[in-house]
Amino acid sequence: MSFARGCSSMSSPSFSSSFVDSSSSSSHVSSRRTRGTRRLKGGVLVASFSDAKAKDDKEEESENKMVVSITGATGFVGTKLVESLLKDGHEVRVLTRSIKQAKKKLKPETLPKGTLLLIEPTKWPLGIKGSTHVVNLAGEPISTRWDENVKKEIMNSRVKATEAVVSAIANVKEESKRPKVLVTASAIGYYGTSDEETFDESSNSGKDYLSSVCLAWEKAAKKAEEMTNGETRVVFVRLGIVLDRDGGALGKMLPTFQLFMGGPIGDGGQWFSWIHRKDAVKIIRESLVNEELKGAINATAPFPVKMRDLTNSLGKELGRPSWMPVPDFALQALLGEGSSLVLQGQKVLPKELLREGYRFEYETITDALNEIVNE
């Protein structure tokens, strides 16, 4: 199956983005404008429904149209995934812990025309029923100071959300209404850290805390395949460090460089396995439709760099020096055990994606930073 299929453009439907609030009362979920909708500024439709039942008339759907349920849709990668799917004419169902917060992150006036359903936790099973695909991106941020409570929340937020999604998929008894694919986020933290080893999908897991989180995360997702007798294909997208201007690691580094205070973190010799956010979204999209992709895939650019090379390239793109390193002890004082995220690294290669012929939009750090800085 070609990679073009997963990212090809489809004409947008004629209706506007619709919010479906599953916590309010009204009627049945539909892609068409329904009773109970009201028009807001900019011609955006907002609808309220008593539940999140899927439209069952699949014969009315175009052959290539997907109905995608997403957890973590308001995050750094999730928001762009929602935008991409709507742009290509697919229906998106946001499985959220807070409809109020989701509305703040996913504003209809900023999204392409399409159908967007916001579904509260008690209605997640109804949202998943009738979905063709599910993407699981939920998880608390890890770039913070860790203590035992934070570590427990990092673990539980990923594993419990995944277990809820898997249970909902497995409990759809009608095969025609059960999602055929579950794409779940994982991370290159699976491999642990090393200055010397090179990791690909065949490498063993590490022994540290983040490795244990990724192992538990993937184990919970794998059960979707087991509980549906292999009918649901499961993909673990082990994300590298996602780069873009308005968030993530780069979003935190840019202000210091713009103030002429940028530089490498630690000694600069640690590996930095990265991915542009546009490629991260495209890889998730491809995982949804490419039946050859199963199990673990590394979502990292094919040319990882050392931290000092990243900061030197960033300085050149910005026309700023890269001269002020952030010492180890400062980060350890600020983040504690969490400082290992930036002071230690791993060299990870996307062997499975390259085998499948995936063409990265941004292969080198220079290409990625040039686009991000000059966008």
Q: Looking at residue 15, what is its pLDDT?
A: 33
Cβ neighbours, 10 Å, residue 49: 24
SS3 220: helix
User: What one-letter code names the amino acid at 179?
Assistant: P
Contact at 8 Å (CB) between 242 and 185?
no
Domain residue ranges of the chain, discontinuous segments joined by +: 4-242+274-300
Higher per-residue confidence, 145 vs 241: 241
CA distance 271 to 312: 14
CA distance 242 to 252: 12
CA distance 144 to 157: 15
Q: Above 50 in pLDDT, residue 52?
A: no
Question: What is the torsional sign of CA 366, 287, 5, 15?
Answer: negative
User: What one-letter code names the amino acid at 278?
Assistant: K
Q: In Å, how far are 113, 265, 346 from 286, measured between CA atoms?
A: 22, 33, 25
Q: Looking at residue 13, what is its pLDDT?
A: 32
Q: Above 70 in pLDDT, residue 103?
A: yes
Higher per-residue confidence, 205 vs 38: 205
Which pLDDT tens digit goes with each residue over 261-280? Answer: 888 888 899 999 999 999 99
> What token pair was written down for 210?
């983040």
Q: Looking at residue 339, what is its pLDDT?
A: 72
Q: Looking at residue 331, what is its pLDDT?
A: 64
Q: Looking at residue 324, what is its pLDDT?
A: 80
SS3 12: coil
Contact at 8 Å (CB) between 351 and 202?
yes
Which pLDDT tens digit goes with each residue over 279-322? Answer: 999 999 999 999 999 999 999 999 999 999 999 999 999 999 88
Q: Looking at residue 19, what is its pLDDT?
A: 52
Which pLDDT tens digit goes with each residue over 161-187? Answer: 999 999 999 999 999 999 999 999 999
Q: Above 50 in pLDDT, residue 14?
A: no
Q: Residue range 245-252: average pLDDT?
A: 86
CATH code for the part of the protein at 4-242+274-300: 3.40.50.720
pLDDT band, residue 253 (cuts 50/70/90):
confident
Q: In Å, how far are 13, 73, 165, 276 from 23, measured between CA atoms?
A: 26, 18, 19, 35
Beta strands at 38-39 and 295-299: parallel, antiparallel or unpaired: unpaired
Average pLDDT, the chain: 84
For the chain, first and last CA: distance in Å? 32
Higher per-residue confidence, 320 vs 19: 320
CA distance 103 to 108: 8
Q: Above 60 in pLDDT, residue 342?
A: yes
Q: Looking at residue 264, what is its pLDDT?
A: 85
Q: Give the residue carrying structure tokens 């149209």.
A: 65
Which string of DSSP letters, residue by residue, matches 290-312? -TT--EEEEES-SS-EEHHHHHH
- The contacts of residue 372 (CB under 8 Å, 6+ apart) are 243, 244, 245, 250, 276
Q: Which residues pair with 186 in a beta bridge?
A: 238
CA distance 230 to 138: 23
Q: Above 50 in pLDDT, residue 57?
A: no
pLDDT band, residue 93 (cuts 50/70/90):
very high
Angle between helices 148-170 and 209-227 (to 10 degrees): 10
